[in-house]
């Protein structure tokens, strides 16, 4: 099995951290500053039974200037080229305008989308259910998977689920 997986989400939700954890190299740029990932950065994970190519997209966000516009276009074309999409959110934050913008783009693409709730190491488990309900209302996600990209919690499960959809 092999396939391409796009990772999208607001700036700072942990897309690069996830890539680094999974691929094990500093391939994606790590920064607290939003939008440091300017271009498509790909990481290949090769396992016994599967090969996954991850694409850390530039942050999709509401464009305010030309560069933002360009990055949104790159991100949108990426969504059309992949097999599955990981929509990553920060467990500490609720649904916001940036998420709405992304979901409007996801609705134009007929691909399985996984809602990945990152930074679960930062929240109480009781906070997750209301958050999940909030996002479920907005989009028909294939599956919803909480992880901590930093500590590695549940990351193997996420990879297993994605593999099942390739």
Sign of CA dihedral 20, 23, 24, 26: negative
3 state SS of 110: coil
152 labeled binding residue = no
Order across the sheet with 41-46: list the strands. Answer: 41-46, 51-56, 2-8, 84-90, 113-118, 143-146
* Identified binder of ligand GDP from the candidate list 84, 115, 116, 119, rule CB under 6 A: 119
38 labeled binding residue = no
Minimum distance from CB of 1 to ligand GDP (Å)? Answer: 26
Per-residue binder mask for ligand GDP (CB under 6 A), 15-54, x = binder: xxx------------xxx----x-----------------
Check binding of 20 to Mg ion (CB under 5 A): no
Q: Which is nearer to Mg ion, 10 or 163 (CB)?
A: 10
Q: Quick one: which of 48, 27, 26, 29 has its CA closest to 37?
A: 29
58 labeled binding residue = yes
3 state SS of 18: helix
Q: Which one of ligand GDP, Mg ion, none interacts with residue 78, CB within 5 to 8 A by kind?
A: none
**Subset of residues 56 to 115 that bind ligand GDP, contact rule: CB under 6 A:** none
Q: Helix %, strand %, coil % for the chain, to 5?
A: 35, 25, 40
In whole angstroms, what is the distance from residue 80 CA to residue 135 CA?
22
Q: Which is nearer to ligand GDP, 30 or 67 (CB)?
A: 30
Q: Which residues are annotated as a binding site for GTP?
A: 9-16, 56-60, 118-121
Q: Site residues (CB under 6 A) for ligand GDP? A: 9, 11-17, 30-32, 37, 118-119, 121-122, 148-150
């Amino acid at each position: 099995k092999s396939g391409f997986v796009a990772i999208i989400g607001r700036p700072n939700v942990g897309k690069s951290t996830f890539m680094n954890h999974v691929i094990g190299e500093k391939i994606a740029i790590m920064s607290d500053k939003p939008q440091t990932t300017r271009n498509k950065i790909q990481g290949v994970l090769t396992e016994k039974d599967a090969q996954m190519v991850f694409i850390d997209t530039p942050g999709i966000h509401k464009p305010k200037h030309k560069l933002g516009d360009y990055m949104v276009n790159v991100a949108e074309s990426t969504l059309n080229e992949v097999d599955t999409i990981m929509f990553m959110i920060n467990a500490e934050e609720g649904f916001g305008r940036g998420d709405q913008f992304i979901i409007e783009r996801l609705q134009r693409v007929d691909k399985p989308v996984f809602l990945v709730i990152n930074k679960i190491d930062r929240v109480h488990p009781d906070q997750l259910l209301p958050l999940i309900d909030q996002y479920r209302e907005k989009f028909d996600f294939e599956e919803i998977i909480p992880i901590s990209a930093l500590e590695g919690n549940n990351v193997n499960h996420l990879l297993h689920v994605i593999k099942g959809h390739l």
